[in-house]
Amino acid sequence: MLKKEDFFHQTMLIFKLGLPIWLGQIAQMSMGFVDTVIAGRAGAVEMAGVAVGGAFWVPLLLFGQGMLNCIGPLVAQGRGAGKENSLHRFWRQGLWLSIILSIFLLILFTISSSAILHFDAIEPELALVTANYIDYIKWGMPAFLLFFVCRFFLEGKGQTRPAMVAGFAGLICNIPLNFIFVFGYFGMPALGGAGCGLASAVVCWIMLGVILYYLKAYSPKTMGIVKPNKQLMTRIARIGFPGALALLLEVSSFALISLFIAPLGSVVVAGHQVAMNMVSLVFMCPLSLGIATSIRIGICLGAKKYHEAKLVRQTTLILSIFMGLSICVFLLIMRIPIAHMYSTNPEVIALASSMLILGACYQIPDNIQIVVLSALRGYNDTKAIFVFSIIAYWCISLPIGYLLCFTDIIIPKVGVAGFWMGLIIGLTVVSTMLMLRILHLEKMSPEQISAKIAR
């Protein structure tokens, strides 16, 4: 039973840890907002090209992020166990892992940008913008992956401000760089939507430079270069890979929607992108809560405070439900002004505002699933996350969404709204499954939990 005093105590700890994370996430996601708005001013095709390009870029980048994501809980567990002197190894081996992932993902991005030019279902003009966007932005990916290694390492140690500062530095630079590269100021060629990709690549390296500065200031002994440690790299990869696949499956299901609806035209893609971009932006609130949850639970488990780990999960679950209700009301009230911020096209505005109604409907299950999923990360329980993601997104959301969008099998086809309805169903299913899983883990004996996080 969660007592009132326990709830307020855990809330204060989470708030202190999570507020800088939230501000940093908002700054990073605001870059996507800036990209979409500025590309939208350049034209519907340019904005649609950024949307479809993101459908390729984001899933692959987040796969790399997911592989490194377990560094935070591992560092937190070591910190809770009082093993401060051994934590540097996670950053050093994460560095090598990020280099390997960078080489692999650069190859995939190159293949993707070439393949999209030959994708007949997409308008040639839209395909060209998308391919050029990917060709530019891929060069920022190595910096972004190393940025995540630094960020997760520092967050695991409870130092959440450096990522926030780096995020705002990136945002401040992203705005003028977008104008320069998209519209061709200061003698630069006007690249249109593809310029957003070049701006983002430059910003990735700026953010890396900022967070490396803080890492050297906060933990100067960490940045030593050592030989690759196969055993530790394998452990990071073994824990991170299922979670990375789960993240890839979830995000690629969203990205596939953009590809599926591309034949419906630039206006539909643009309207969908406006709504999806805003939903992604507000998602930073529960995501930040989730990151703080995994760190706090990792610390508690490392210190063998298993009951307190349960209190953390119970507290953040309540906070996530309240947050979901608040975001839902905000989206319903502000859906039309939000659409106007992104575009001046009446058709895009009308479609985006209607999609935001559906986006508001899945806020509570979405908030629940990310917080409980993050709690599972604190237990290093990433295999369950992977299995549940396959079921929820690929066996439920996408098939139902496709049938509702393009066929009359279930109900008369409703167009792009069908995919949003499928997402509501999928998120509800995955939040239920994740909740059952965490309840199972919390019933395990202390010996079983210790053995699990030690693997």
Q: What is the pLDDT of residue 120?
A: 64
Crossing angle of helices 4-42 and 306-342, in 10° steps, is 30
Instruction: Indicate if the alpha-carbon torsion angle 275, 281, 285, 286 is positive or negative.
Output: positive
The answer to whether 281 touches 22, Cβ cutoff 8 Å, is no
In total, how many domains does the chain have? 1
Per run of 10 residues, the mean pLDDT along the chain (length 455 residues) is: 79 86 79 77 76 75 82 86 80 89 87 74 75 87 91 88 90 89 82 84 93 87 80 86 79 75 79 82 84 89 88 92 92 88 81 88 89 88 84 88 87 85 90 92 86 75
User: How confident is the model at residue 315, as a pLDDT?
Assistant: 92
Q: Which residues contact 99 (CB under 8 A, 6 or more apart)?
A: 142
Cβ contact 247:60 at 8 Å? no
Q: By the 8 A CB rule, do 378 and 76 touch? A: yes
The pTM assigned to this predicted structure is 0.81
Q: What is the pLDDT of residue 21?
A: 84
- DSSP calls for 417-439: HHHHHHHHHHHHHHHHHHHHHHH
Domain holding 319, by residue range, is: 4-454
Q: Which 3 state secondary structure label does DSSP give 174?
A: helix
Residue-wise DSSP of 102-115: HHHHHHHHHHHHHH
Dihedral (C-alpha) 440, 446, 449, 455: value to the nearest 10 degrees?
-160
**Residue 351 and residue 386: Cα distance in Å, rounded?**
33
Alpha-carbon radius of gyration of the chain: 21
> DSSP characters for 194-247?
HHHHHHHHHHHHHHHHHHHHHHHHH-TTTT------HHHHHHHHHHHHHHHHHH
Give the pLDDT of residue 325: 93
Tell me how long the chain is: 455
Q: 362: number of CA atoms within 13 Å, CB side?
A: 25
